[in-house]
Chain A
Amino acid sequence: MSKSGSLYIERESLFHGLDGSIKLLMLIAWTGFAFAFMDARVFLGMILVGLGILKLSKLPAKAIWPLFAFIFVFTLFNSIFLLLITPEYGSKLAGSYTGIVTLGFYSITLETIFYCITLSLKYIAIMPITILFIFTTHPSNFASSLNRIGVPYRVAYAVNIALRYIPDVKTEVDNIINAQEARGVAFRKGDAGLATRLKNYATVMVPLLLSSFNRIEVVSNAMDLRGFGKSKRRTWYHRKNYTGMDLAFAALSFAVLAAGVAIKIMVGSVYWYPFSL
């Protein structure tokens, strides 16, 4: 993360040029579309398209791969957890039973493993457009984009405030914790038991909250004095007019979303299992 706490990486690309609200729309459509399916083929297709989009956005691979690494680890753990608790779940869905490992009552089936793979692919498939939005949209555009797709501007501006103060608040949290640590308060593993460490976080909460409340008061005074909330709408410094490309992607997003919803309504959530009899 950069000093300002944002992940934005400046590049010249088709997607950097799109308005933030369009990318937000794409994010919603993409996610909605993924939600409609439980089909490994669809997800593989989405992953390929998604990777293509990321390639076109010219983002450095170095910045993105840690997120992919994380989702791999996450899906791995999720799958293990799933296999531990519902080892035969996939069989119920697929309607066939092919045991692989059997230990008394507990047995893992091939169908469940395939189910785990499908689910993992789904999580991975959702990811590329979220990444695209975060890395190619300047944080200044977040709030105005939200406002543009219909979120009230006061709520949208709260997002702006959050982005503005995340780095400041982080420094403050570090300072307060360091100061308490220097007075012998244990926060690290090995310094004290679980319950004590948890209680110790309660001691830093009060100074942290009081200073946050003070910040809230002063910032809101500063905003009031400069006319925030004056009228029913507000304009945005970083907003540009839509281009043809913006509109094209908006239309595409709507189409994708509509397709997803239509499939969900007409066919229902169909689980695809290739090896059933």
Chain B
Amino acid sequence: MKSVVFEDVSFQYGNLDQPTLHHIDLVINEGEKVLITGKSGSGKSTLAHCINGLIPFTYKGEMNGRVLVNEKEPKGLSLFAMGTQVGSILQDQDCQFVGLSAGEDVAFALENDCVSAEEMHAAADRALKQVDMLQHKNQPPQSLSGGQKQKVAIAGILAMNVPILLFDEPLANLDPASGKKAMETILDIHGKTGKTIIVIEHRIEDVLEHGFDRVVVVDDGRIVFNGTPDLLLAEDILPRYGLRQPLYVEMLKLCGIKAKEEDRISILENTIKYKDQVLKRYMEDRFADQRPDNRTILKLQGVSFRYFKEDPYTIEDVSFDVKEGEMLAIVGNNGAGKSTLLKAISGIAKYQKGSIYYGDKNSENKNDDNSSSILGMNCINSWTAKQRALAIGFVMQNPNHMITKDMIYDEVAFGLRNFGVGKEETDARVKEALKICGLYEYRNWPVSSLSYGQKKRVTIASILSMGPKVIILDEPTAGQDYTSYREFMSYLDRIKDTGVGIILITHDMHLALEYADTGVVLSSGRVIAKDYIDRILADSWIIGKANLKHTSIERMGRLFGVEDLSAFIAYFTRRVTSTTDQSPDLTKLVKQSLSGEGEEVPHE
């Protein structure tokens, strides 16, 4: 039986001028595991809405062609009838989880079906057991992690007993280790039930390592590839459409290896035959290690914080330095204390123990009390959040939480105006910040005309204009696809070159590895490693303890039996980054992304 059929389907949202999907032809068979991928705005979410019935029932628009789900046309049914065919798991776990406890949430669909309480409890228990969450049955969502909430969501769909499971960006809000577990759960379900699995995701490597039958690539509303993962990887499809290849595939290509479909490189172990070629390249070419030794600008010494006196410390004895022009990554899993640390540095959380020192050249003699300064830096323990804001800028994960003004210029000038900076100086600093972030030409545009990634740059410009010497970014690349991620990070590099110290707070090891100079690994509120990033990544003990995820380069190094794993990882990661980063023509990139649709789903 065919689970999903698209016959020459085009679709245009009621409030947009252009169609989002063009002439889609696609067949997904029962029991298949299919990955649908594409850039932001490519139309992949719209495709998902056509499958689960949100189109045509919730999002109105004009559709041509025919969609069949389990051999029935959605438009002849109702959204409720579609709910019995396709189980959808949305990317935001908190929005999917509507119940007040795990068990209640799993039973939500059964409640709507008027199933009796007894039957419901039995069914919910069964479903929770399938995803290994039965012991958390009575817990409220606030005490579950993102990964656990997602498992509950999956159980909720299993309880409905639908033949097709549709996952819309299941990895987007999870740290890599939880993402891996989520994928394992999904595949485990597939193994046990043989249901059709459709995953929409742009984190391709994290999906493909679990063995999918087929990949569909969508670009600009059209299907541009539809075939096996092996063919996909062999044919260089992904880079052509601005998508990221698995790291180890980038690495193979870097070594001049041309794989064919029958080489089956979608399974990492099959690359063993390229061992000699890879190692040869590695031995021949070495990077000059350039490690900056600038002056220290921010110093944490033994910082500890707990929310309540009777609780244990959420972060304990945290010490590290940030240097001028250095990019430091604070990595750790969800719950490791990253956001608490951020609050402590920015002054929102008053740490009970330890000190923070800040050394701006101009403020060396601010404190009269000499004992509170070391190495020419001032102790800032007594500074309020507002005072610290001028020294240490903080960029939130979601730009929509920061932006309050209509126009780009006003948004960037907002902080300076609040601090009473003169008009001329404000103007000069705003323009400078806009130039660094590549937004100068758009200064008189409304913020709402920008894409997500560009809005994020606006928030950085608005922090940069206030002249901090350290900028902290919380999950800087979250919610962005590969193209916009690369572009964004290249701007950060430019900021770094002006001498500003940058702290990235992230669980994304790829990101840390590619861009950061040094890393601090947090686990259960303690610093368990402080080193150059590649050395951290080569240390299995740290990776395991911090519940991080190995990158595929590391796995490949182990497969090949490389002795100095750290050097191997460092070499290839930086090589891969530097060759694919063909120092893009920045204005061209901005143009492209400005002309494209920012967000995929228009608000009604």
Contact = CB atoms under 8 A, between A and B. Distances in A.
Interface in A170-220: 172, 175-176, 178-186, 191, 203-204, 206-207, 210-211, 213-215, 217-219
Interface residues of B, number: 67
A249 B110 CA distance: 31
Interface stretch (A19-27, A75-83, A227-235): A227-235
Contact of B404 (A175, A203, A230): A203
A179 B52 CA distance: 37
A139 interface: yes
A6, A219, A227: residue with the most chain B Cβ atoms closer than 10 Å: A227
B93 to A, nearest CB: 10
B111 A222 contact: no
A182 B466 CA distance: 11
B401 A183 contact: no
B419 interface: yes
A218 B90 contact: yes
A226 B104 CA distance: 13
B304 to A, nearest CB: 21
A207 B104 contact: no
B114 A233 contact: yes
A224 B90 contact: no
- Chain A: number of interface residues, binned into ranges: 35 or more
B400 A207 contact: yes
A164 B141 contact: yes
B97 to A, nearest CB: 8
Q: Is the interface of B mostly helix, strand, loop or mixed?
A: helix
B107 interface: yes
B114 A231 contact: yes
A179 to B, nearest CB: 5
A1 B418 CA distance: 35
B592 interface: no
Contacts of B53: 225
Contacts of B221: none
A4 to B, nearest CB: 4
Most chain B Cβ neighbours within 10 Å, of A223, A228, A237: A237
Given A183-B414, A183-B415, A185-B418, A175 B396 contact: yes
A184 B384 CA distance: 11
B18 interface: no
A251 interface: no
A5 B141 CA distance: 11
Given A160-B100, A235-B117, A218 B88 contact: no
B396 A179 contact: yes
B100 A226 contact: no
Contacts of B99: 140, 160, 164, 237
A234 B111 contact: yes
Contact of A182 (B104, B110, B386): B386
B142 A236 contact: no
Interface string A126-164: 000000000000011000000000000000000011011
Contacts of B235: none
A182 B603 contact: no
B389 A211 contact: no
A9 to B, nearest CB: 14
A55 interface: no
A175 B462 CA distance: 17
A184 B79 contact: no
A41 interface: no
Given A225-B52, A225-B54, A218 B415 contact: no
B537 interface: no
A226 B386 contact: no
Nearest to B398: A211
A206 to B, nearest CB: 6
B156 A226 contact: yes
Interface string B434-472: 000000000000000000000000000011001000000
Interface of B: 52-54, 57-58, 79-80, 82-84, 87-88, 90, 92, 94-101, 103-104, 107-117, 120-121, 124, 140-143, 156, 160, 346, 348, 385-386, 388-389, 393-394, 396, 398, 400-404, 414-415, 418-419, 462-463, 466, 603
Interface of A: 3-6, 139-140, 160-161, 163-164, 167-168, 172, 175-176, 178-186, 191, 203-204, 206-207, 210-211, 213-215, 217-219, 221-231, 233-240
8 contacts: A140-B99, A140-B101, A179-B394, A214-B603, A221-B58, A231-B113, A233-B114, A235-B115
